[in-house]
A and B are shown apart, each in its own frame.
Chain A
């Protein structure tokens, strides 16, 4: 089912409303398989919108970014922002609402049921150096990839993003409009986390030592995360200073540990951090380990209830005393 047409129709309607200032969606990118986020202001721009398995970005990030966020956007009486979200993206909305990071009344949510997005790195490795005339469409169990004048059918699991292969729910958790119907999600057993948990402490150390040595502290992971939106981030404050500005394993360890821990009980597994990392560091492994433990220890799952209380703001007297002397 191609969501593009119904999405454009809904967008045209929403952009005609008096109370909506802009709409954040996806449009065709500048080359190859790229798709780019776009901010539309007028109904006649609605035809720029696309929706395909190439729409990997979590657009909810923009709600808390300067100049766009509901708090900053004003156009006379129009102060609402419309946004296109997939199910995974919508979970970020739920957490933001629960934390009062955004005002539910100020957002018009257009939920789109997606069967999954591609892993761009896998796609571009398989179909390298594409410049124009490209397209990716999902047809049942396969992706139809248009590349260099030909259309190639590829089994979905060969190109699907890892996060989609363990998707919990394909229906957005919060929406005002809905495009498409959700298909069955495979579910998440945290198999990848269990596998890495089985390794020895020494192996874990070696692995993360070599991964975190690669980090160049570009902060893309933090900036792309919809739930990292502190205006004064603890990770690069100088007064008080936690993390030094020198870039080496120790400081990188402190950065990633602290950031992952600040997302414990908040990270909704959209995987954007890992997608954007220019050094290919498997950042989701850190967040997913915490997510698994949070579920196991405290039966808590972020992003399902827009009114849930934060993980660390609550407790049960019978919380486990694991490892406590």
Chain B
């Protein structure tokens, strides 16, 4: 792959050189960092050192119009949901980019999801390697790395006064065609600089979990009491699910009236008690231990078995944000203990 150099002071110029394209980047807004559309590069406060924002909503919005309808008197007229413009997501972390790779097989099974597919194809991902992993990160345990290019079209790594820029895919190459003035040839020593930066980042990641054969081990503890113990503190909210870059469950609802309205897809969470509640009143996952067990098994057994990827990218948001310290590293470590007993 091609490697070039971008001087830090040229960052804004670089972003503007991407052309007439919708730019989404992590911006500071009211005390939080969020991925939002950037209208004016010079006015926006783009934040590259706060890794909390999740760009999942770019491909999979929390509320998405599937179609709108209007009662014409002789039936219903429908209009399809809006089509997103070509978009570049800038400042996405390697774990979050990998998450889209993990989600791709799900949304392209025998009946492809046109909403996801359209966004996925018209979005270019320009990543930012992690120089400051936090205490929640554990991407190496799931085969990731703070400098991984998996799922990215372009990857920037901060190597001091410059960004080391790797052009990973043809899509990335196409995107950077207009940026020739700010993208300079990379001398040999700069190419090596990225490896050093990534090495330092890896050393900062202090939490890990042994996932060897986990997808086979988990079914073995399905009936064990450990789930009851682990789930006793769970409050059944949606924090882990909504902040997880690979969680994808959704609900479909209609809004409006019989005269006019729309059908929407909205995020849902398997941790909610009503998630599997049947109309009959029967609930196959009636308690929190069943739901927590399902969440773990979905990420580490069912998804790998059905889709070929571990359903976790090691971002650690669920661990950091859980109000009651439910920690998947602790849970999976306990699973292994139980099996070894």
Contacts and interface: CB of A to CB of B under 8 A. Distances in A.
Direct contact of A and B (CB under 8 A): yes
A259 to B, nearest CB: 14
B307 interface: no
Given A36-B233, A220-B235, A30 B135 contact: no
B141 interface: no
Nearest to B253: A245
A279 B54 CA distance: 12
Contacts of A220: 235, 237-239, 323
B321 A278 contact: yes
A248 B63 contact: yes
Q: How large is the interface on A (under 10, 10 to 19, 20 to 34, 35 or more residues)?
A: 35 or more
Interface residues of B, number: 44
Contacts of A169: none
Contacts of A9: none
B135 A129 contact: yes
Interface stretch (A10-18, A62-70, A90-98): A62-70
A67 B63 contact: no
A37 B239 CA distance: 17
A246 interface: yes
A166 interface: no
Contacts of B31: 280
Interface in B316-341: 319, 321, 323-325, 327, 329-330
Contacts of A30: 319, 325, 327, 329-330
A29 B325 contact: yes
Interface string A203-226: 000000011001011111011100
Contact of B235 (A35, A65, A247, A278): A65
Instruction: Name which of A30, A211, A224 has the most chain B CB atoms within 10 A of its CB.
Output: A30
Nearest to A238: B253
Contacts of A223: 235-237
Contact of A57 (B232, B236, B324): B324
Q: Would you call the interface of chain B mostly helix, strand, loop, or mixed? A: mixed
A224 B237 contact: yes
Contact of A276 (B63, B229, B239): B239
Contacts of B251: 245
B201 to A, nearest CB: 12
Contact of B135 (A38, A130, A216): A130
B62 A247 contact: yes
A66 B330 CA distance: 23
A289 interface: no
Contacts of B235: 61, 65, 220, 223-224
Interface in B248-274: 251, 253, 255, 264, 266-267, 269, 272-274
B267 to A, nearest CB: 8
Interface string B221-256: 000000001001101111101110000000101010
Contact of A68 (B30, B232, B237, B273): B232
B101 interface: no
Interface in A31-48: 31-32, 34-39
A138 interface: no
A28 to B, nearest CB: 10
A278 B244 CA distance: 12
Contacts of B274: 236
B207 interface: yes
A131 interface: yes
A219 B29 CA distance: 22
Contacts of A236: 274
A39 B325 contact: no
Contact of A31 (B62, B207, B237, B273): B207
Contacts of B62: 216, 247
B287 A66 contact: yes
Interface string B125-163: 000000000110000000000000000000000000000
Contacts of A68: 232
A285 to B, nearest CB: 14
Instruction: Name which of B30, B241, B323 has the most chain A CB atoms within 10 A of its CB.
Output: B323
Contacts of B330: 30
B325 A36 contact: yes
B237 A218 contact: yes
Nearest to B287: A67
B135 A247 contact: no
A39 B230 CA distance: 10
Given A36-B325, A39-B232, A245-B266, 13 more contacts: A32-B135, A37-B325, A67-B232, A211-B30, A214-B30, A216-B62, A219-B237, A219-B238, A220-B323, A236-B274, A244-B253, A244-B255, A280-B32
Interface of B: 29-32, 34, 62-63, 134-135, 204, 206-207, 229, 232-233, 235-239, 241-243, 251, 253, 255, 264, 266-267, 269, 272-274, 287-289, 319, 321, 323-325, 327, 329-330
